[in-house]
Amino acid sequence: MQIKLLDKEEEHYRYFIDTNSESSLYHTLEWRDIVQKTYGYKPYYLIAWDAGSIKGVLPLFQVNSLINGKHIVSLPFSHCVSILYQDRSVLGELIECAKDLTLQRNYNYLEMRHGMDLTEISGLECSRHFLDSTLDITYSLSDVWANFQGSVRKAIRKAQQNPIKIIRGTDLEHYRQFFMLELETRRRQGSPPYAFRFFENLYLKLHASGKARLYLAYFENQAIGGVLILYHHRTAIYGYGGSTSNKNLLRFRPNNLLFWLAIQDAYKEGYKLFDFGITPPSNKGLLRFKSGWGTHTAPLPYYFFLNKTSKIPVIDREGTASRLAVSIFKHMPIDLLRFVGPFFLKHLG
C-alpha cells in the first residue's frame, strides 16, 4: 500500500467517498473546489492507494495565515472531517504521512478536525474547544416535535400564524439575498463575514445536485431570514444562517420556522441526523437555542501536530484582542465590512 497525493485517481476518490458511510460533504471534491476557488488555498489530499483502489483518505489544505502562520488543516471552513479508512492500520499511515508533510515543508502545525478518539496516535495534542449539537431524526416527526422545548414549539406556532412566506431558493439571486442577510448578521455578532463568492461557488457546485438547499423567509417581499443546509449520505448540516436586524420583524420568529421546515424536509427525504454545527462553550445563548431543539451536545475533539509552535493555536474568545476585533466588526460600515471581513476570515482558515 502507498500513501500518496491525489492526482489522477479522482474517479476512484469519488467512488470511495460515495460508498463510505462515514464520509461527509466536506470530503467531496465539490467542497475542495469551493474552498480552492474562493480562498486560493492549496489542496493536499492524501490517499491510501492499494491494488488500483483507495483504502483511506485524509484531505488537507495549506493555509498561509497572517494570524497563525503557514499550516495545513483538514479542512478549512468545516467543523468535522473524519479520516476515512477501511483498516485501522491505514489510519496511522495517513496521519504519519501528514506529520511528515508538516516537517518536510516546515509548516507551523497540522490540524485535523477528526472528531473521534486519536489518543493512541503518538505526537498529537487534543483540543476540545467546540461543542457539536446534533438532532436525531430517526424517530417520527411527532416524537421529534415533542422533544422540542415548549419555547421552541411556541415560537414555531407564532411564526406560522404570522404573514411569513418561506421559499426554497432556486437561483443565484436568492443566494445573493441570503448573503446580505449573512453579512448583516455577522456584523451584529462582531464576526468577519464570508465573501459572496463563497456562496456563489456553493450554488454553482452543490445546488443543482441537491447537496445544498437554501430556505428564505419573507415578509412583504423583504427577505428577513435564511438558512443554508448541506446534505450528504445520512446527515443534513446547518451550514450558514442570516437574519435581519429589524427587531420588529424578528418578533415573527422566522428563524424558528426556517429550521422546522428544514428538519421536516430532511426527515421526509430519509436523513437520519440534523447537525446544528459547532459552538464555543462560551456562547451560552447559542447553546441554549440549540438545546431547545432537543439536540445532543458533546465535545468535538480536534487534533494537532505541533512543529514550529509550542501551543495549540486556539483563539481566546474572551481575550483582549478578540474583544477588540468583535467591537471593530460590530461598528464597521457594512460596505467596508463586506470588503475587509472576507480577507480577515481567509486568514483564520
Q: Are 282 and 317 in contact (CB under 8 A)?
A: yes
Examine the domain organization and report whether 107 and 58 are in the same domain.
yes
Examine the domain organization and report whether 265 and 309 are in the same domain.
no
Q: State pLDDT tens for residues 78-123.
A: 999 999 998 888 999 999 999 999 999 999 999 999 988 888 888 9
Task: Report the CATH number at residue 255.
Answer: 3.40.630.30
Structural domain contains residue 348:
no
Structural domain contains residue 343:
no
**Sequence-ordered list of residues with C-beta below 8 angstroms from that of 325, at least 6 positions apart, any chain:** 190
Domain count, the chain: 2
Structural domain contains residue 296:
no
- Alpha helix positions (H), 190-253: 196-202, 247-250
Compute the radius of gyration of the chain from its Cα atoms: 20
Examine the domain organization and report whether 147 and 260 are in the same domain.
yes
Average pLDDT of the residues of the chain = 94
Mean pLDDT (whole number) for 224-245? 97
Q: Hey, how many other C-beta atoms are within 10 angstroms of the C-beta on 14?
A: 14
Mean pLDDT (whole number) for 134-155? 96
Mean pLDDT (whole number) for 251-261? 96
Q: State pLDDT tens for residues 322-342.
A: 788 889 989 999 999 999 999
**Sequence-ordered list of residues with C-beta below 8 angstroms from that of 285, at least 6 positions apart, any chain:** none
Examine the domain organization and report whether 92 and 154 are in the same domain.
no
Structural domain contains residue 276:
no
Mean pLDDT (whole number) for 285-310? 95
**Does residue 316 carry a pLDDT above 80?**
no
Examine the domain organization and report whether 151 and 116 are in the same domain.
no
Examine the domain organization and report whether 15 and 122 are in the same domain.
yes
Domain that holds residue 245: 138-271
Long-range contacts of 15-19, Cβ-Cβ distance < 8 Å, separation of 24 or more: 15/54, 16/53, 16/54, 16/57, 16/84, 17/57, 17/84
**Does residue 150 carry a pLDDT above 70?**
yes
